[in-house]
């Protein structure tokens, strides 16, 4: 549906007659008459859909759940443990130590998840006196998302290596998102969400976090929540 809407609307769009100037983090710029390709337009429509329908619904669910005591760190942790592959323990890999035998991906997500709910609850309690700080949960969950995606691909028989200049290297996040295993197991809407959040086709959160481009004010509740949404979509399986 998203792809069909993009193709239909792009053909009739006024954007095709404009020249666009693009700026990067260092105020370098370029003019590109083809900057808004059909692929770019797909993310424009996705952004509109997310901000109009998805994000308000998420806020309503989380706000009502937290206020009514139904959603907190412990209930959220238990839900992930019971309903996603993050709570499953798989065979120990060669590089892992005995300490890792009883840990799961949920163990790696836990500190950031705890901080996410702690900041929300603090925001309710300390209204007007303290600004919630989402730095830890955004930084941690963003980088862990990429690692979890690699493991997901490997666990169901995929390959995350690529040969370059005579050496085997791990695929970049962009390459992982076009990995055969991801394309076969996730819908175009899910993949678009991941690209929109983590790559330069949208918010580019992964690059901004990894290179410390974000100032304090960029670490918002909205970013923390959309990263958490990606974690939920990636973990929606139980693996045999």
Instruction: Count the domains in the chain.
Output: 1
Tokens encoding 65: 């759940």
CB atoms within 10 A of CB 176: 20
Query: 50 in a domain, yes or no?
Result: no
**Closest to 203 in 3D by CA, of 194, 211, 190:** 194
**Closest to 227 in 3D by CA, of 144, 147, 151, 152:** 144
Query: 205 in a domain, yes or no?
Result: yes
C-alpha to C-alpha distance for 82 and 77, rounded to whole angstroms? 9
Placement of tokens 């580019």 in the chain: 204
Query: 190 in a domain, yes or no?
Result: yes
User: What does the angle CA 43 – CA 49 – CA 54 come to, to the nearest 5 degrees?
Assistant: 120
How many whole angstroms from its chain centre is CA 149? 10
Tokens encoding 58: 């998420």
More confident residue, 70 or 10: 70
At residue 13 the predicted structure's pLDDT band, cuts being 50, 70 and 90, is low
Would you state the pLDDT for residue 32?
A: 62
At residue 160 the predicted structure's pLDDT band, cuts being 50, 70 and 90, is very high
Residues with Cβ < 8 Å from 161, sequence gap 6 or more? 168, 169, 170, 171
The answer on pLDDT for 36 being more than 60 is: no
The answer on pLDDT for 37 being more than 80 is: no
Query: 65 in a domain, yes or no?
Result: no
Query: 6 in a domain, yes or no?
Result: no
Structural domain boundaries, residue 103: 72-234
Would you state the pLDDT for residue 35?
A: 47
Would you state the pLDDT for residue 81?
A: 95
The mean predicted confidence, pLDDT, of the chain is 85
The answer on pLDDT for 220 being more than 70 is: yes
Query: 54 in a domain, yes or no?
Result: no
Specify burial of residue 142 (Cβ count, 10 A radius: 0-12, 13-18, 19+).
buried
What is the tens place of the pLDDT at every residue in 182-218? 999 999 889 999 999 999 888 999 999 999 999 999 9
What is the tens place of the pLDDT at every residue in 94-129? 566 666 667 899 999 999 999 999 998 887 766 666
Query: 163 in a domain, yes or no?
Result: yes
DSSP conformation letters of 33-84: TTSS-HHHHHHHHHHHHIIIIIHHHHHHHHHHHHHTTS-SHHHHHHHHHHHS
Residues in the chain: 240
Query: 51 in a domain, yes or no?
Result: no
CB 156 within 8 A of CB 240: no
Where do the H-state alpha helices sit in the chain? 2-11, 38-49, 55-67, 73-83, 105-125, 135-155, 173-177, 180-185, 188-198, 205-210, 221-234
Percent of the chain with pLDDT over 90: 52
């Amino acid at each position: 549906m998203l792809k069909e809407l993009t193709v239909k609307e792009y053909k009739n769009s006024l954007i095709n007659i404009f020249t666009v100037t693009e700026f990067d983090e260092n105020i370098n710029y370029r003019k590109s008459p083809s900057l808004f390709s059909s692929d770019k337009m797909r993310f424009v429509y996705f952004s509109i859909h997310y901000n109009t329908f998805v994000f308000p619904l998420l806020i309503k669910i989380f706000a009502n759940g937290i206020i009514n005591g139904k959603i907190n760190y412990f209930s959220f942790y238990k839900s992930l443990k019971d309903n996603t592959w993050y709570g499953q323990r798989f065979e120990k890999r060669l590089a892992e130590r005995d300490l890792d035998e009883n840990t799961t991906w949920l163990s790696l997500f836990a500190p950031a998840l705890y901080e996410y709910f702690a900041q929300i609850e603090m925001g309710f309690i300390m209204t007007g006196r303290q600004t919630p700080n989402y730095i830890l949960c955004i930084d941690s969950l963003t980088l862990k998302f990429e690692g979890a995606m690699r493991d997901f691909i490997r666990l169901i028989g995929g390959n995350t290596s690529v040969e370059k200049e005579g050496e085997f290297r791990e695929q970049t996040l962009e390459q992982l998102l076009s990995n055969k295993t991801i394309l076969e197991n996730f819908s175009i809407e899910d993949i678009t969400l991941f690209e929109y959040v983590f790559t330069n086709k949208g918010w580019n959160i992964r690059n901004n976090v990894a290179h410390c481009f974000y100032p304090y004010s960029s670490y918002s509740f909205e970013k923390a929540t959309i990263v958490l949404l990606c974690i939920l979509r990636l973990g929606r399986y139980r693996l045999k």
